[in-house]
Amino acid sequence: MKPNINFCEGKMQKNLMSNNIEELLNSFSSLIFCFFSLCLWHKLDKRFLQLSTPIAMNFIVGLGSFLFHSKGIRLFQFLDEIPMILTISSGIIIYHEELHQQDKLKRIPYNFMQSLVCGLQTITIIANIYSKYFYIFEVLFMTFCIWICTLVYISSPPANKYYAKRTICLGFMGYGIWLIDQHYCNVYTTWFHFHMWWHIFIGIVVFNIMELYRLNICNRKKIEYQIKIFLGVILDVTIQKNGNEKL
Ligand SMILES: [Zn+2]
């Protein structure tokens, strides 16, 4: 079965690439998801175990995306896109739980939210497998993205809202870049490798969202932390192993 979407690098350079890899830069830039997942896994301790599912799913996204861009097979497209949905939906569930711990969004029962996430997740996966129209998946995927961005913003304490805003802006810039790759592909734009930049931007966004989640827990439990910013956008949170912690 053929994929229901193509990318500019593949369309413009099909004949230039080796037979082994269809989209060279799109393939290798996918590994940024694996790299950031390993960084997050290294930072994980028992206080942040809720993050283990989204981190593991994000690692699979990287592998699936690498295979999809290098081979252009529908099966690998599923391996790229279904873990994407699972990463975001597991993120939504843990962010909702965190908001309830913060006494926010109490009017919306946690169980109801969980069921809603699972229902929409199932619809999105079925649409992804059976629909030949990519835009159906795109709309459902964007719904998940807007949902998690809203939760990230609401849950961040005032001191960290600046980082949340920057991360959300980067996410929407990434989507803009993805759209340019899809709709304005020609011999000139192909040299900018827009889809490769989408991978890099979204890799950073996912990393930052997980770091913002750790910041929320630190603020709520009064755990001491330090924030460093790399390249103006990458949020690196260092947390004391045995800090002043209220459990
Ligand atoms: Zn991709």
Expressed in angstroms and rounded, the spacing between residue 60 Cα and the centre of ligand 1 is 13
Expressed in angstroms and rounded, the spacing between residue 111 Cα and the centre of ligand 1 is 33
Q: Does 229 map to a domain? A: no
pLDDT at res. 17: 53
**Mean pLDDT, residues 73-92:** 93
Q: What integer best gives the mean pLDDT of the chain? A: 89
Q: Considering just the CA atoms, what is the radius of gyration of the chain in Å? A: 19
Expressed in angstroms and rounded, the spacing between residue 121 Cα and the centre of ligand 1 is 20
Residue 139 sits in which domain range? 8-220
Expressed in angstroms and rounded, the spacing between residue 230 Cα and the centre of ligand 1 is 24
Expressed in angstroms and rounded, the spacing between residue 65 Cα and the centre of ligand 1 is 6
Does 121 score more than 70 pLDDT? Answer: yes
Q: Does 162 map to a domain? A: yes
Q: Does 237 map to a domain? A: no
Expressed in angstroms and rounded, the spacing between residue 225 Cα and the centre of ligand 1 is 34
Expressed in angstroms and rounded, the spacing between residue 191 Cα and the centre of ligand 1 is 16
Which pTM was predicted? 0.91
- Structural contact between residues 167 and 145, judged by C-beta atoms closer than 8 angstroms: no
Expressed in angstroms and rounded, the spacing between residue 72 Cα and the centre of ligand 1 is 11
Q: Does 46 map to a domain? A: yes
**Mean pLDDT, residues 217-244:** 86
Expressed in angstroms and rounded, the spacing between residue 23 Cα and the centre of ligand 1 is 10
Tell me the CATH number at 209: 1.20.1070
Query: Which of 14-18, 67-71, 95-99, 188-192 is predicted with the least confidence, judged by mean pLDDT?
Result: 14-18
Does 93 score more than 50 pLDDT? Answer: yes
Q: Does 228 map to a domain? A: no
pLDDT at res. 14: 61
Number of domains present in the structure of the chain:
1
